[in-house]
A and B are shown apart, each in its own frame.
Chain A
């Protein structure tokens, strides 16, 4: 038969707690413990994940920096002598030889003949 739900006492948390079977209370406590354990595990996992993420981020940053700035190779060094030679050659080629020859020929008296025009090396000056 069904029990009767007749009770004159004013309902309170103590009486409610008292009416609950201890097995139910134990199950509830177990549930709460499971919940807490799950939450703790989750927090721990999140922390671990954050640490790993941070490590990964640092690694990535390092890698990106390495990729962006490759080691600069030194340019081919031109020896001093070669440079001077090239420069003098360019200087010789740049000089307006024909105009110079015409000017010198025009300025000279007929008794003097122009035999040759020779550049003086800058280094020897």
Chain B
């Protein structure tokens, strides 16, 4: 009971593997890795993951006393869709914002959001982030969790989990980067507000030169001034983990492990 009160499980789902971590409920200690299980995904994308997830979760939890524990699922950004929604001018109810989010989803991805579960940081006054997960994947996660006696307390995209963990430490005009696998999720911020999230592939041997180029390119595309500082977290490549050696490069600061 006390164990359940002080800690929770964190299950990271990527298209390739699942990881089981133990997270302290409070304090800033990094989650501690307990087990890892490759995902024998039949098909590509979320559908394949949803299909392979129950078996992988069973293998992952084998030997762990996880019954009754609270578990939060962190999905890698490939499995979810993240986009930004500008609220309609005269939005008065949540339904207006939901409609705007669905409309934007349809515009961006060319399909109706019927098969997707949308969750967003609803805000009527400013542009907000919305995220969607296939209903199939959500149902697979919740069913598998119920089968193993886990209580699902959160299902969040990896970027959102990292953002929420480090939100207090982010500087106002610095950009925020979360690396997972070979993808860097780059959050462009301005005046203390999140302007856009871009996912950039990290090439082999990425260094400060590459990061500076990528950030400047994204800044140009978004019409923002290039950042003076990028705060990085997650699986940062070793060359990027060190401080920048040249003044011409954008400075980086490490925030520690992701989420």
Residue total for A at the interface (Cβ-Cβ under 8 A): 17
Binds A, one of B32-40, B153-161, B233-241: B153-161
Q: Which of B123-141 contact A (CB under 8 A)?
A: 129-131, 133, 138
Give bound CA distance, A7 to B143, whole Å: 17
Q: Do A6 and B151 touch across chains, with their CB atoms under 8 A apart? A: no
Which of A5, A8, A15, A19 neighbours the largest number of chain B CB atoms within 10 Å of its CB? A8
A3 at the interface (CB under 8 A from B): yes
A14 at the interface (CB under 8 A from B): yes
Q: Do B160 and A6 touch across chains, with their CB atoms under 8 A apart? A: yes
Q: Which of B11-46 contact A (CB under 8 A)?
A: 25-26
B196 at the interface (CB under 8 A from A): no
Which of B70, B157, B164 neighbours the largest number of chain A CB atoms within 10 Å of its CB? B164
Q: Do B167 and A1 touch across chains, with their CB atoms under 8 A apart? A: yes
Q: Which residues of A contact B25 (CB under 8 A)?
A: 18, 22
Q: Do A6 and B142 touch across chains, with their CB atoms under 8 A apart? A: no
Q: Which of A2-17 contact B (CB under 8 A)?
A: 2-10, 12, 14-15
Q: Which of A69-118 contact B (CB under 8 A)?
A: none
Q: Do A6 and B131 touch across chains, with their CB atoms under 8 A apart? A: yes
Q: Do B131 and A14 touch across chains, with their CB atoms under 8 A apart? A: no
Binds A, one of B59-67, B113-121, B209-217, B218-226: B113-121
A68 at the interface (CB under 8 A from B): no
CB distance from B148 to the nearest CB of A (A): 15
A62 at the interface (CB under 8 A from B): no
Residue of A nearest to B131 (CB): A6
Does more than half of chain A's interface fall in helix, strand or loop, or is it mixed?
A: loop
Q: Which residues of B contact A7 (CB under 8 A)?
A: 119, 154-156
Give bound CA distance, A15 to B151, whole Å: 8
Residue of A nearest to B72 (CB): A9
A21 at the interface (CB under 8 A from B): yes
Given contacts A3-B163, A8-B133, contact A22 B26 (CB under 8 A): yes
Q: Do B138 and A8 touch across chains, with their CB atoms under 8 A apart? A: yes
CB contact between B153 and one of A3, A4, A9 (< 8 Å): that residue: A9
B194 at the interface (CB under 8 A from A): yes
Give bound CA distance, A22 to B122, whole Å: 26
Give bound CA distance, A9 to B8, whole Å: 15
CB contact between B26 and one of A4, A9, A10, A21 (< 8 Å): that residue: A21
Give bound CA distance, A8 to B138, whole Å: 8
Q: Do A6 and B70 touch across chains, with their CB atoms under 8 A apart? A: no
B interface vs A, CB < 8 Å? 8, 25-26, 70, 72-73, 117, 119-122, 129-131, 133, 138, 142, 151-157, 160, 163-164, 167-168, 170, 172, 189, 192-194
Other A-B contacts than A18-B8, A18-B70, 20 sampled, CB-CB below 8 A, are A1-B172, A1-B189, A2-B167, A3-B163, A4-B164, A5-B122, A6-B130, A6-B131, A6-B156, A6-B160, A7-B119, A8-B119, A8-B133, A9-B154, A10-B142, A10-B152, A14-B70, A18-B153, A19-B153, A22-B25
Can you sample 12 A-B contacts with CB below 8 Å? A1-B193, A1-B194, A4-B194, A5-B121, A6-B119, A6-B120, A6-B121, A10-B152, A14-B151, A15-B152, A18-B70, A21-B26
